[in-house]
Structure formats: C-alpha cells, structure tokens
Structure 1
Amino acid sequence: MADQLSDEILGSARLEIDGPGVTGQPMSFRIVYTAGAAGVDDRGAVRVSWRAQAGLGHPQFEDPSAPGYLAVRTVSEGSVRPVSRFNERGHRRPFVPAVTVHTDDGGLWPGDRLELTFGDTSAGSPGIRAPVTVVHAFEFQVSVDCKGAQEFLDLDGFLTFPVVAGPAVRLAAIAPSDVRAGEPFALRARFEDVWGNPTDVPGASLQVAMSDRDPVLGTAAGAGPVIPIENLTLEAPGVVRLQVTDQTSGLRATSNPIRVAAELPDQRRWWGDLHGQSGETVGTNPSSDYFHFARHLACADFTCHQGNDFQITDAFWARLRREVEAIHEDGEFVCFHGYEWSGNTEVGGDRNVIFRGIPEADDISRSGHWLIEDRRPLDRERDALNVEELYARLRGRDDVMLLPHVGGRRAELRWIDPKLEPVVEVHSAHGTSEWFLRQALASGARVGFLAGSDDHMGRPGATLANANEMPVNGGLACIRATELTRDGIWEGLHSRHCHGTSGARILVDTQIAGARMGADAEAHGNVSVDARANGTAPIIEMAVYRDGEPVYRWTPAGDPLHVLVAWTGNLRIARGRKQTWDGELTVHGARLNRVEPFAFDHPEEGLTGADGHSVRWTSETAGDYDGVLMDLAAASDATIEFCAEPLTVTQELQGIEDGPIFFAAAGLGAHLRLQALPRDGGPLDTQVTWTDAAPPAGVHAYHVRVLQLDGHMAWSSPTYVDIAED
C-alpha cells in the first residue's frame, strides 16, 4: 500500500486509512495534500482522481449525514477558501472520476495543507461506498495546477489501498453442460459476496446430491473461494441439475443444467468470455490476474484479453503474448490472443480482434497512440485509423476475426464484413443491445449472436453489475465445438454454432427449416421451427424472431393473481444508456398479499417500500428487465397504476392470463410488460414447435430468445433460410 507521494515543487500527498476496504461496504479515509515549494496560486487547484470501473461511491458535498459525504478543510494562516466539485469525467483516462478543489480568495503557501475526508462520518454519514470489486491496489492520482493555468501536473506514483471481498452470501455451482453417463466429471462450487466477488468460507464442507431426498453423490472440503467436487457420476440419460449444500455456512446452490447422454454429442457446449480488459488499460488488477480469474474462479472454458489498442504499449503486447501462452492448455482451457481495435464510432467503432494462433509483434494495428507514452504518429503501414483500413490489413487472412460490439464506443454497422466478422455481441456488462442485432440483420450480413462481459473489474466470465459503469451482469458465450482447443472453438465460432446469454448457463438448441443453429437453409413455403431450452431458472418466455422482429411467443399458462410487472429499455444507443425507472405501482380494487423483486441488478437497486396497495422501487435499466412480482387477493376488477419517468399508465388486469401485455415507453426499446405467471414460476425445460406458415420469399434470419424468471436471457444465433417463391 502506497501512502505517501512527494515532489519538492508540486508538493506531497499522503493517505490516512484504517485497513483495507471491504467490497461495497461504507468506509472512510483521508487524503492530505501539502503544498510544495511553488505553493498553489489563487484560483489554482488540487485534483484527486481514480478509476471508475471498480465502483467507488460517488462523493457529494451537500449533505454531511448522507452516504458519500466528502469534507474538505484547509490548514493555512492565509484566507484561502476551498471550492470543491466532483466530476464523473473530470480527469484523464483511466483516472476519469475526479474531485477538484480550487483555491479562492487566496492560495496555498508552501507547507499549507488541504485535507479531503472521503466518507466523513462526523455528522452522521455512514461513509462512502468502497469499491465493489476486489482490488489489489485501488489507486488515486494526485495532480496540481500550481499556476491556475488549467494545466495539471501529476505527482509521481499513486496513493493506494487494497479492497478485499466481503463475507459469503451465496453459492454458485458450475458443472459441464455435457456429460457421458457413467463417466466421472467435476463440479466446481464458488462462494460469492453480495457484489459477486469470489470469497472464502473457512472450513467449508460441501455435499452434492440430485435433490434433498436423494443420496449424496460427492463431498469436498476447503476454504474456497472455488472448491472442486470431483469424481461425480450420473447414470441415467436426461437433463440434471445438481444440488450443492455447504454444511458450514448453510448456503445452497443448484447447478446449471447438465445434459447426460449415453454418448457425448459430436459438438460439446463450451462456455467462456471473449471480451474484457485489465488494469494496464482501463480495467482492474494486472493481466495475469485476469487470466487466472477466467480459468480458476469464473471456471470458464475459454477467454481472450481485449485491451484498448491506444493503451497497449509494445512492451505490454509482448507480455500479453507470453501470458496467454502460459495460461493456454488444449483440452483444459483455451486462451486466444487479441486486442480491441478502438476506432471512434464515426470511423467504424469498437471491434474485438481475435487471433487463431500466436500473433507476431507487429500484428497489432492500432487506431491511435493516445495513451501510449511516446504518442508517436500512426504507422501508416501497420496501424488503421478507420475500419476500412483495418479490413484492408486483415482481408485474405484465415487466422483472424473481428467481433463488433456496443461497449462504450459502439461499432457502426454500416461497415460489416461477414467473412472477417462472423458474429456480433448482443449483451455485455454495458447492457443488453437487441437493437444492435437488428442493425446487423438489416445490413444483410449473415452473422451469429453471442455475448461477453466487456469486463473492466477483473472478473472475466463472472462479471456482476456495479452501480456506476457496468449496470448489468456480464454475458457468456456458449460455443459448440468438437474439442476444447483453439482450432475447435475457432471453428465453432466461425461457423456461428454459438449462442449468447446474459450470464446464466442456459442451454438453447434450434432446428429451423431442418438446419442447426447458425446454418444456412432453404425452404419452400412453410418454415418449421423446433427450439429447446434448459434453464437455470423457470422459463417464462420463448420467442421466435424473424429478421429481428418477434413472430411467435410462447409463455406458460399463468395465474391472474400472480402477476409480473417488468420494465426495460435503453436511454439511447450512445454512451450514457442507463434509463432511470424509479417509481411506484398502485393496485386498485385488490390487495397486495406479497411482492417480490424481479431481476434487479445490484444491491443499490430494488424495492424501497410496500404496503397492501402499493410498491416503490429504485431502478435503472440498460436493455435488461427489472420489475416486481405480485401476489394479489382475489378481485375481478383490479387495475394497476404504474408511474415512472419513462411511462405512466393504468391497466385493468382482467384477461391478463391470455398472454403478456406490453406498453411502449420513452426510450430505446423501452416498454412495460405485464404477465400472469404460474405459481411455481414455470418450467425449467421447454420445447417449442411452431411453423411460420406464409413467410415472404427471400432470405430471412430466424432466431430464438429465452427469458427466465430471474431476468436472465439467452439468444440463439440465427438460421438463415432462403425461402423460394411459390
């Protein structure tokens, strides 16, 4: 932990803190700046900045009794008055959020002090929220504008403190999706704190069984955060979900669905996350930790590092290539080489660049050198200022592919090359972007769908939402491959034999016009759709889409007194997509017997109050659903009144059991969903057979979307059906 910085001219800074932060818990600490030999001029300033991605709470100066209060004090014999402000984008990347304290009515003399107490508790504030992810060294940069010239010079080095995981509040059980009957396999159990960080449970004692009533199949002991339970066997073919219980903490979990068969399928289902970056660019913790987390804590089968190109130095590129080779192991864990080409949206937008094999030192074509120390100009023979130049560098190669995505700097799909870009990303921790899928399909390109995390918090493959930069859980990609090797995963991805989820290991299979997921097919007249899903929670919808629009919707038969009220939307397609839905629902003509939260993303969202007739909440969406599940007392003429900024509406509930009711709201894809659900939530396993009886002639993309009772979703890659004219 670095607690002291010093510069003779600019001054010095120190950090005063009692122990490490605990993820997401209130804390208090003080940064003390002492003016150097130059002093700080009247209307000069001192700035403290940090990385946004780890989720330190936002400071505020108005209410000393509220969370996040930041007290600023000067120790000076002069008349200086500090004027403080917080700006979410107040400094240079990656230290973007910043508190700037301007001097007014005098400056700081050499030796004067400026004290900033983050989370000052002296007037009743509980403190400031600690970063929500584990960080080895959470860094503060201290910068000084001694002359009031709007030119900030950084003190050399950083003030740092560690952030550790909180106590375990839940258990996750991760199993392979495909198992041969009678053949041993391993299940891995992961303990998590309230923000989803892997954490220890000393003396954990795990048991695995088919159910509470069945014999124990296996046991394991340890401290975590991940404990393997090995040599498990399942004898009977079918879909199985195993129950895992920790005898020490009392925590329980149900595994993802396991398909048990007499023989393994030709193409097994492998899970991973191809999209994220580490602290050397704009993420958290070192790249070596990134790879370790993906393999050993997220329990992924494959991953890739995607640092922004304009931050990747030649030395870091060389180190990344060594680290990738060190973690990669055919048959156990696949790690691809890659980087994020980060051209501005207006010249193409973000594309993940993924290599099939080992790239050369000059195989990185940067969009710029903005945050590389030498800031040398573009190498016109090697770099690519726009996506057309990138295409030109890569066309003709069969060992590289691009993955357009939304992220922050969204890809512009007026440029898309399906030979280089076989898939696009529907979901990441930035949000769910179904509008992006529709753009891809409208381009005429034949592309598959998958998801990733775009992790910036050091948790690839198991990224959970934070309250600042990443509003939803990170996604996962499921790729069908003959073997767990680079070649196997590559071929599955390149053939569009893949689907994406919002983070749950939901199994989805489709046969459309007789062809498998991602394939090209032909049809004369009718198009048959056969879709199967095995969920990690009850399935409340399977919808068939043609060219990005729903044409058939299956939902389970619902109880009109057990009603889901859910909302979704993005504010816009550019950055700042989060849409605020803070609001209230009132029931007229009936009584609320019980309300439960639906799919809120992190501990600072959720229900804020309820009584027999109303319920209130705090909510932000980014294309995902949030909502309320209600149990109503019997009433034939009940109505609900929904009130939030994007939509106010009153609706009778009579007939709601006939199917979901939707109301469009202000925002991108924003709507309200009312749906009667079964008392048991719905089936875990669902198969839908449907025929599109009269589709128009031409090539059409058919895909399936699954929605679960926990809000998680899955998207199949489209099957492209060429329908002949009659």
Structure 2
Amino acid sequence: ASSGNLAATSNALTVHNSKPERSLFWGDLHSGQTEIGCGSGTLAESYAFGRDCAGLQFLTHQANDHYVTPDDWAHTREVTDEFYEPGAYVPFLGCEWSPFTKDGGDRNVIYNYDEPRIRRSDRFFREDDPDPTPDVPTAPEFHDAFRDLDVLVNIHVGGRMTNLDWYEQKIEKLCETHSTHGTVEWFFMDALSRGYKVGLTAGTDGVMGRPGACHPGRRLIRNLRNGLTAVYAEELTREALWEAFQARRCYATTGERIRLCFSVNDVMMGSELEMTESPQIRFLVEGTKAIERVELFRGVDIIQSWTVADPAPQPADSTLLRVLWGGTERKGTARLQRVDWTGRFSVEGGIVELVEPINFQSYDDSAQADGTGSRITWQNKSAGNAAGVLLRVIGDDSTKLSFESGPTSFDVSLGQIRSETHHVNAGGVGRFVEIGLPPDTKGTTDFEMETTDEEAVDGEFPYWIRVTQVDQSLAWSSPVYVTRK
C-alpha cells in the first residue's frame, strides 16, 4: 500500500478455500509491567495498547509478584475479565513469580481461571492487614504450590533469570527465546540439553506499557524490540488457546509476523512422537523479508541447513560487502547481555562507502562515513541478535580491510572475502564478526522443504528449525520431541 511518499507492506496472509482445522493467532504471553509492578501506565491502557496499537489477539500482564498487593490483584482480575472478547481479544490472568535466581528465578504464571489468591515469592510492600495466603519463596515450594493447578508457566531470562536446576514438566511447558532483554537462544538450548520439553514463546517483558510494539530507546533498561508468539488454535477463545499452549503448538519470532509450519511424520510442532523409522521433516516458511537461510536442529546440533537467498548482484566497478556482528556478553539480565560493538571498518589501498545499516534498533545506533573514503564508523550494541553494515568497496584483491571494535579486531584482504565469508569467534556467549558478500534482499520470501534424517540415532531428540531473514529477523519453531527405538 502507498500514499504519496509513504509505502507499507503487510505481513503474509494465507487464504483458504474452506475453514482450516486451526488458525494462526498472534500475541504476547509476557507483556511486562504497568503501574501494577514496576512499569508505567494503567493496566487498562496496556491491554488497550496491545489490542488497538500492536494488533495482538492475546495477551497476559506479568507484574513482579512481590509488588502486587491484594487490591492490585483484585484489580488485575477485574480488568483482565473486562477486556476478554471471545473471537476478538483474549487476555489471560497472570503474574510473575520473582525470587532471586539462586532461589528459582522469574517464572511467568498464566492462569486458565479466575484465581482469587496470589502466591508470591516475597512482599515488597507494607501491610496493615496482612494477606493470609502464604508466600512460596523457593522453586521447590513454588512447584509444590502450583503443580496441580490449571496454570502454565513460561520460563525465561529477565531481571532474575529462571534457574533451570528446578523444572516441573507438568506446568512448565513454555520457554521464552526473545524479549526486549535480548535474544536468548542459549537459554532454550540449555533447557533442551537438560531434557526439558518446552514450546517456544517470545514477548515484550517491558516496563513502558507497550506490549507487542516496544522499542529499546537509548538502551537504558532494555536492548531490543519485543518478540511475538504465534499459536495454532481452533478458535480465538481462552479454552482453545489454552489447549494449544498445553500442546506447545506455538512458535516465536523477534517481532515479525513470519508464518511457519513445522512437523515430523505429519505431527505438528510441540508434539511427542515415538517411531522406529527415520524421521520425516516437513516445514513451510512465509517471511516478511527475503529468507536468508533455514537450519534444522536435532537437539542443539544443526543437522541440515538451506541457503535460500542467492548472492546479491554485484556492481561492475566495486564489491558489496556485508559486515555483521552479534552475540551476548554474559548470560543474565539486559545489562549483562549487552555487547558494545562501537568501532570502525577501514580500507587500505581502496575506497569504502556506506550503503546502509542492518538491524539497528536503538535511537543511539548510527553508522557514518568519515569523509575520507577510507573509513566507516558506527555505534551499536547487541544482545544475542545480529546487526551490521552494508558497504561498497572499490579496490582489488590486495586491498586491506580492517575491522576494529572492543570485542575483537582483525585484518583480511578483499580477495579473501571475494572467495569466501570470513568468520571470527569473538568470545562471550556466541559473539562473532562475519564479513562476506551479501545475500539478495529481493529474493524469495517463501520456502518449503521435505527432508528425512537418514542419520537419526536411537534415543529421545527434539527436532526444530530456526529461520533467518536477510534483515536478521528470526523465527524458531517449537520442537517435535521424537523418541526413536
């Protein structure tokens, strides 16, 4: 759609000849805080923003429980019920159990019913008439209190990272892999390595009252734009969504409405499956930008990868280069995850020009040429995501390229990059720098594949995919948990 100098493109839509068994719905199971908790704005404003501004179809408010008084909880229950409109908008009652990580760490509790009690980790408020409901300050006590309730728990990395030493499969069926804190695929892989069976979510976890459309500003307290959760359900009601989340029939994105279907032996993502034969994997991706690659995992290992995007057309008189950096400083809060990539790219024996930045998200992110034709500088920080710059270099194979930044510095020749992508491990948690020829940003946005894991081994393994678009947006399917005998 366009109007004058303005143009916009919608997310992908699928038109069916008849009503499908399940439809795809988008929302946020971890909106974060408002005036109830440690955020801003009213709860009603947050619910309205999610529905009217972010276009969400489901939402749950997740205030830190130690801030929530009995009156706050009564208000949360009342407003949540007021905004429920079957077929249009589904808010779930929720609260974040919030002890220190050593005692269990943050866990989003989502209710499938109107719970009059709140079981807190602690109380950061004074009480003239104390709430008689006992607190549950540690993970074992939390699990004992919630195990037999009709709740779902979303484990995640927030202000107090979930401690994965404690896990209750009966209720802890969801795991957040992206929020405004950062992209935390490492957390999900840790859960898989421990044999946990979780479906993937992504959300906001913000404090500005803007669920589904939240940005990091100057990165004073957050790092990235919010993520979104997609779920396949029979209809847009609490009952249908609840059944879908219980079945882990959901997936996560970094905020883009990428359509994704994934199955093993025709069993949908989130399922558990026993077999004796080789797993047959099928998936379909409809992106919001050109798809760069899709990677298939067995457990935490990539077993197949498809490069979907072709190389970008190269000009006759120069070479287009893509410089990417990314990763995480340390496992933990937004501040601990943040990597400062402020640096420069220089050429010796050639000329470099800035074409455009890639995946810059903060007001403070910038890239600029220094006016000499020999250097590009930038200011950028990552938190598990990838970002970078697209450059045009005029030179020959001997032209020297220099990357300089706090995490790493190195030199490489233009001839080396023309022949193969140069990848540098920069320490931290998956920190990296990559210099190579860019993919075509005008490539296909759709990709479909059927494949068989001919090297499957006996045992229990989760199969799942990660999708990377050329703009460095990501999507992750929930796994199918396969037991092969």
**Structure 1 residue 297, shift from structure 2 partner:** 1.1
**Structure 1 residue 703, shift from structure 2 partner:** 1.3
Q: Secondary structure at the match of 2:8?
A: strand
Residues 553 and 613 of structure 1, relative CA distance in 2, 3 Å threshold = farther
Supply the distance in 2 between the matched residues of 1:639 and 1:545 (Cα, whole angstroms).
37
Contact 1:414 1:443 in 2 (8 A): no
Q: 2:358 aligns with which of 593, 598, 605?
A: 598
Q: What is aligned with 1:257? A: 12
Q: What is aligned with 1:341? A: 97
Q: Secondary structure at the match of 1:427?
A: strand
Q: Secondary structure at the match of 1:324?
A: helix
Q: Secondary structure at the match of 2:25?
A: strand
Supply the distance in 2 between the matched residues of 1:718 and 1:449 (Cα, whole angstroms).
8
Contact 1:336 1:354 in 2 (8 A): yes
Letter in 2 for 1:365: R
**Structure 1 residue 375, shift from structure 2 partner:** 8.6
Contact 2:161 2:332 in 1 (8 A): yes
**Structure 1 residue 589, shift from structure 2 partner:** 5.2
More helix per residue: 1 or 2?
A: 2
Residues 682 and 639 of structure 1, relative CA distance in 2, 3 Å threshold = farther
Supply the distance in 2 between the matched residues of 1:662 and 1:527 (Cα, whole angstroms).
32
TM-score calculated relative to the size of structure 1: 0.62
Q: What is aligned with 1:549? A: 301
**Structure 1 residue 640, shift from structure 2 partner:** 2.8
Contact 1:572 1:668 in 2 (8 A): yes
**Structure 1 residue 704, shift from structure 2 partner:** 0.9
What's the CA shift string for 1:116-168, capped at 9, x where partnerless? xxxxxxxxxxxxxxxxxxxxxxxxxxxxxxxxxxxxxxxxxxxxxxxxxxxxx
**Structure 1 residue 664, shift from structure 2 partner:** 1.0
Supply the distance in 1 between the matched residues of 2:321 and 2:16 (Cα, whole angstroms).
37
Q: What is aligned with 2:25? A: 270
> Would you say how many aligned residue pairs link Structure 1 and Structure 2?
474
Contact 2:292 2:439 in 1 (8 A): no
Supply the distance in 2 between the matched residues of 1:723 and 1:671 (Cα, whole angstroms).
35
Q: What is aligned with 1:572? A: 330
Q: Percent identity?
A: 32
**Structure 1 residue 707, shift from structure 2 partner:** 1.4
Q: What is aligned with 2:57? A: 301
**Structure 1 residue 656, shift from structure 2 partner:** 5.1
Residues 510 and 293 of structure 1, relative CA distance in 2, 3 Å threshold = same
Q: Secondary structure at the match of 1:677?
A: coil
Supply the distance in 2 between the matched residues of 1:721 and 1:659 (Cα, whole angstroms).
36
**Structure 1 residue 661, shift from structure 2 partner:** 4.3
Letter in 1 for 2:321: V
Runs of 5+ unmatched residues, structure 2: none
Q: What is the RMSD of the two structures over their aligned residues, measured on CA atoms?
A: 2.1
Supply the distance in 1 between the matched residues of 2:470 and 2:423 (Cα, whole angstroms).
17
TM-score calculated relative to the size of structure 2: 0.92
**Structure 1 residue 681, shift from structure 2 partner:** 4.2
What's the CA shift string for 1:379-403, capped at 9, x where partnerless? 5x63211111111111222x21111
Residues 305 and 653 of structure 1, relative CA distance in 2, 3 Å threshold = same
Residues 541 and 263 of structure 1, relative CA distance in 2, 3 Å threshold = same
Q: What is aligned with 2:479? A: 718
Supply the distance in 1 between the matched residues of 2:343 and 2:214 (Cα, whole angstroms).
27
Supply the distance in 1 between the matched residues of 2:80 and 2:264 (Cα, whole angstroms).
38
Residues 487 and 680 of structure 1, relative CA distance in 2, 3 Å threshold = same
Supply the distance in 1 between the matched residues of 2:415 and 2:16 (Cα, whole angstroms).
45
Superposition pairs for residues 561-710 of structure 1, below 5 Å?
561-575=319-333, 576=335, 577-588=337-348, 590-610=350-370, 612-633=373-394, 635-654=396-415, 661-710=422-471
Contact 2:354 2:369 in 1 (8 A): no
1:440 paired to 2:191: yes
Superposition pairs for residues 35-54 of structure 1, below 5 Å?
none
Residues 681 and 658 of structure 1, relative CA distance in 2, 3 Å threshold = farther
1:538 paired to 2:298: no
Supply the distance in 1 between the matched residues of 2:39 and 2:3 (Cα, whole angstroms).
33
Supply the distance in 1 between the matched residues of 2:413 and 2:298 (Cα, whole angstroms).
31
Supply the distance in 2 between the matched residues of 1:519 and 1:590 (Cα, whole angstroms).
55
Letter in 1 for 2:28: D
Supply the distance in 1 between the matched residues of 2:260 and 2:285 (Cα, whole angstroms).
5
Contact 1:540 1:677 in 2 (8 A): no
**Structure 1 residue 639, shift from structure 2 partner:** 4.8
Letter in 2 for 1:511: S
- Ranked by relative contact order (alpha carbons within 8 Å, sequence separation 6 or more), the top structure is 2
1:430 paired to 2:181: yes
Q: What is aligned with 1:317? A: 73
Contact 2:110 2:152 in 1 (8 A): yes
Contact 2:97 2:108 in 1 (8 A): yes
Q: What is aligned with 1:484? A: 236
**Structure 1 residue 524, shift from structure 2 partner:** 3.9
Residues 482 and 419 of structure 1, relative CA distance in 2, 3 Å threshold = same
**Structure showing greater Rg:** 1
Residues 377 and 588 of structure 1, relative CA distance in 2, 3 Å threshold = farther
Letter in 1 for 2:108: N
Q: 1:414 aligns with which of 142, 165, 173?
A: 165
Contact 1:338 1:354 in 2 (8 A): yes
Residues 378 and 622 of structure 1, relative CA distance in 2, 3 Å threshold = farther
Supply the distance in 2 between the matched residues of 1:703 and 1:654 (Cα, whole angstroms).
37
Superposition pairs for residues 55-66 of structure 1, below 5 Å?
none
1:374 paired to 2:127: yes
Contact 1:294 1:459 in 2 (8 A): yes
